[in-house]
Amino acid sequence: MTSEQTTDVDALPAEAQGTDQQPSSRTEIPKSAAFTRYIASGWADRPAPVPPVSPMAQAAVARRAAISAKRPGERLVVAAGAQKVRSNDTDYPYRPHSAFAWLTGWGDETVAGSVLVLDPVEGGHEATLYFQPAAGRDTDEFYADSAVGEFWVGRRPSVDEVGAALGLHAADVADLRTGDADVTLEDEGLARDLSELRLVKDAAEVDQLRGAVAATKQGFDDVIAAMPRITAHDRGERVIEGVFFTRARSEGSDLGYGTIAASGPHACILHWTRNDGPVVPGDLVLIDAGVELPSLYTADITRTLPVTGTFSPVQRRIYEAVLEAADAAFAVAKPGARFRDLHVAAMDVIAEKVAGWGLPLLPAEALEGVERPDRRYMVHGTSHHLGLDVHDCAEARRELYMDGVLEPGMVFTIEPGLYFQPDDLTVPEEFRGIGVRIEDDVLVTADGCENLSAAIPRTPDDVEAWIARQRS
Ligand code: GLY
Ligand code: MN
Ligand code: MN
């Protein structure tokens, strides 16, 4: 297959064979009127199905009203973004901007290059979704355009179909007019407002996150069941990545981020996505992975598993310290608490444990106004918001994010860890090369929080029992 149209003209009716040689080293595109008539004819009508408006699209009505109320009188232009080239003639899988997905409810079926426009009108805004609809068979696009042609990338929906599926006024992107006064996502204020509106999830979003977590649990189950195959391979980490991805695809879904499959000392490398190492019995393997549903909501879960199925005493000691830190963060996760309290609670435990092991940390009373003592054995934060983006709401202001007050409907991770680098001379030799993170996805409720990933075992005993079960 080449990226431009190539036709075996000898197979065409004689009158259609007048070709127009293109100035290209590898293609020839017939241009004659006879060919155009020939290829445009003989196609059956396809009745357009009229799908019901999806729950995500229904929920997007209130979201548009919320941004409309914040930006009265402004023309808001929210682009889904263009398809990106990976390398010659190959593109990255398309994913629309999360702000666009949130405001439309259009997920992984979004047509690349779509744009939502909110035009100011009396009392609010009027929404129009511009996109490139299917081209008619009377154009050469459907057979000759490798970027968007139906023969090449599949059928695109019509204006009516998209309008019906999303409950929105839809229009051809060719009719989109932009102006200097438009406010776009490049505008810091609009990106910030949308990020901040996304901090509290609506019921449809929470449903999606529950689904993403459930699919992710299945992925972890699959990885454990495949452990004999994983340890037998000299790049077992990559097999873990593949097994998890297979589950995501088997669910009709994708990944929210590159899987981290980090065995032994690789677990101390926080964003280890090269995943080219072996998975060695006796080590721990840290797996940080999340299924992203077609709605584009993702889970973000980490489990650290003993490869043999049983923690060694030192592995268990470190694991239990991290678990205690996580539980301390869970204990403060309730409406009225500050987001930053989660990290403080977890780090107090980490600091206490590390000090108890005789490792060099500042004592808690010396910490006021200075960096917490987490920058050697745990260099990352304890929590981040989660939703359409794995690191969701990133444009929100500090006073609403790090210093923000927790509200029912917020979803974030709790993910403390301890990482003892293999060459860290400040720790006992038996600690070196051990990295543990436990990451759960948490919903703030009216009076506390719910661990959305509670069904994925997290205590050492439950993890060992889980592995035994999956392997039997
Ligand atoms: N998977 C990235 C993170 O845990 O933040
Ligand atoms: Mn995370
Ligand atoms: Mn993670």
| CATH 3.40.350.10 residue window(s) in the chain | 55-196
Query: Mutation test of ligand 1: which of 384, 385, 411, 440 has the most ligand atoms closer than 8 Å to its C-beta?
Result: 384
Q: What is the pTM of this model?
A: 0.92
- The backbone region for 42, taken as left when phi is positive above 0, alpha when psi lies in -120 to 50, beta otherwise, is left
pLDDT of residue 22: 47
What's the number of CA atoms in the CB half-sphere (13 Å) around residue 441? Answer: 32
**pLDDT tens-digit series, residues 302-325:** 999 999 999 999 999 999 999 999
Mean pLDDT of the chain: 91
Q: What is the number of the ligand 1 atom nearest to the C-alpha of 289?
A: 1
pLDDT of residue 472: 83
| CATH 3.90.230.10 residue window(s) in the chain | 200-471
Q: Which CATH architecture has domain 200-471?
A: Alpha-Beta Complex (3.90)
Q: What is the number of the ligand 1 atom nearest to the C-alpha of 439?
A: 4
Looking at ligand 1, which residue's alpha carbon is closest to its atom 4? 300
Ligand 1 centroid distance, CA of 300 (Å)? 6
Taking each helix axis as running N to C, give the angle between helix 339-356 and helix 313-332, from 0 to 180 degrees, rounded to the nearest 10: 150
Looking at ligand 1, which residue's alpha carbon is closest to its atom 3? 300
Query: Mutation test of ligand 1: which of 272, 390, 442, 453 has the most ligand atoms closer than 8 Å to its C-beta?
Result: 390
Cα torsion for 330, 268, 210, 167, to the nearest 10°?
120
Beta-bridge partners for 286: 262, 304
Ligand 1 centroid distance, CA of 67 (Å)? 28
13 has pLDDT over 50: no
**pLDDT tens-digit series, residues 388-443:** 999 999 999 999 999 999 999 999 999 999 999 999 998 999 999 999 999 999 99
Ligand 1 centroid distance, CA of 418 (Å)? 15
**pLDDT tens-digit series, residues 34-77:** 888 888 889 988 777 777 899 999 999 999 999 999 999 999 99
8 A C-beta contact, residue 192 and residue 225: no
Pocket-forming residues, ligand 1, beta carbon under 6 Å = 257, 288, 300, 384, 390, 415, 439
Ligand 3 centroid distance, CA of 266 (Å)? 15
Ligand number nearest CA of 255 is 1
Ligand 2 centroid distance, CA of 391 (Å)? 7
**pLDDT tens-digit series, residues 120-157:** 999 999 999 999 998 888 888 888 888 888 888 888 88
What's the rounded Cα separation, in Å, for the pair 303 and 319?
A: 10
Q: What is the number of the ligand 1 atom nearest to the C-alpha of 271?
A: 2
Ligand 2 centroid distance, CA of 261 (Å)? 14
Confidence of residue 10 (pLDDT cuts 50, 70, 90): very low
Q: What is the number of the ligand 1 atom nearest to the C-alpha of 300?
A: 1
- For 55-196, which CATH class? alpha beta
